[in-house]
Amino acid sequence: MYPIKFSPRLITICGATATGKSGLAIALAKRLNSIILSADSRQVYRNFNIGTAKPTLTEQQSIPHYLIDICNPTETLTVADYQQQAQALIASPPTPPTPPTPPTPPTTPPLLLVGGTGLYIRSVVGGLKIPRVAPQKELRIQLESLGQSQLYAMLQQVDPVATQKIHPNDLVRTLRALEVFYVTGCPISEQQGEYPPNYPILQIGLDCADSILTRRIAQRTEQMLAAGWISEVETLCQKYGDGLPLLDTLGYREIKQYIAGKISRSEAKDLTVLHTRQFAKRQRTWFRADPQIEWFDADHPDLLEQVWQRVQQFVGNYKSVVISAD
């Protein structure tokens, strides 16, 4: 074993749902002899497989995936929890699929951070400082009963700085800001900030024309249904109850309505496609706001080679620098 270690390098692959991030990442990981860190807020939960487009077992066996299936559906994984686990893996990455053979000195290939959850990715590449306050169910119930107008007025009193970044109609972020204040006694605005890591990062974004993305979403939704998505949701309802919050997320909610007899299978599919398109629009807005992301056409026939050329340039520019390991 070599008494040295290497500084990390990170490549992110982000973009809207159904743009082919996972397929591209697996192809790159094979060429780099690297591993994949998932950045998907639902793939972290066990048993939610088909509807989250989780990499198949075959795909996970071909390339090691991490930050998948790390939490039970009845538990809550916060962004701070995710960030902590991701940062730990980046700081001490698992052994690559094909470890180097002595006497050749070991190298550390870039890690791939892949997914469509913008906040997960930003927590890592931006080094977000996140208040470690778990959701307070009872407190939230009490606060919600007051109504958004009054809640926002309360937030203006205890944390006026936060209200400069939170829209008056944004109930989710208003609740979170108040929750953090009442639990810690300190405004959330004083507990936030960004401390970007000092290792090199290449951010790759995938996008395509609206019509093409709509077709991709429709095709993937049909593939999910053909793969047994309805049976998956039925099993989840039986195991956890249909009141499980995760079963009210994108796609699962629509399939659950079909199972309950409220809508037809065709309606469930069409609504899933519609709501997924709306979700993709929000993802695009989020990622497009980051000027560091380099964009590629997800539907280009030479996508892999185009991205590979950029990755090789990145790897060449940022060698795996040796750090003393005294």
Q: Which residue, among 205, 202, 201, has the nearest Cα to 20 in the 3D structure?
A: 205
pLDDT, tens only, 163-194: 998 999 999 899 999 999 999 999 998 888 88
Per-residue pLDDT of the chain (326 residues; tens, 9 = 90+): 444 456 799 999 999 999 999 999 999 999 999 999 999 999 999 999 999 999 999 999 999 999 999 999 999 898 999 999 999 999 998 877 665 555 444 568 999 999 999 999 999 999 988 887 878 889 999 999 999 999 999 999 999 999 998 999 999 899 999 999 999 999 998 888 888 999 999 999 999 999 999 999 999 999 999 999 999 999 999 999 999 999 999 999 999 999 999 999 999 999 999 999 999 999 999 999 999 999 999 999 999 999 999 999 999 987 654 444 44
Residues 67 and 206 reside in one and the same domain: yes
Instruction: Decide the pairing of beta strands 201-207 and 293-297.
Output: parallel
260 domain residue, yes or no: no
Residue type, 140: R
175 part of a folded domain: yes
- The CATH number of whichever domain residue 19 belongs to comes to 3.40.50.300
- Return the bridge partners of 201, or none: 10
Domain count, the chain: 2
295 DSSP β-pair partners: 205
- In a shared domain, residues 23 and 97: yes
Domain ranges, residue 148: 137-191
The reply to whether 143 and 100 lie within a common domain is no
Residues 30 and 178 both lie in one domain: no
Same-domain status, 22 and 123: yes
In three-state secondary structure terms, 177 is helix
Q: How many C-alpha atoms does 201 have within 13 Å on its Cβ side?
A: 20
- Residue 77 and residue 75: Cα distance in Å, rounded? 7
Distance in angstroms (rounded) separating the CA atoms of residues 126 and 2: 31
Hey, which residues does 113 pair with through a beta bridge? 12, 37
The residue type at 253: R
Tell me the pTM: 0.86
**201 shares a domain with 62:** yes
Residue 100: is the preceding peptide bond cis (ω within 30°)? no
- Using alpha carbons, select from 110, 114, 88 the residue that is nearest to residue 6: 110
- Based on the fold, state whether residues 198 and 187 are members of the same structural domain: no
Say if residues 18 and 217 touch (Cβ distance below 8 Å): yes
What region does 202 belong to: left with phi over 0, alpha with psi -120 to 50, or beta?
Answer: beta
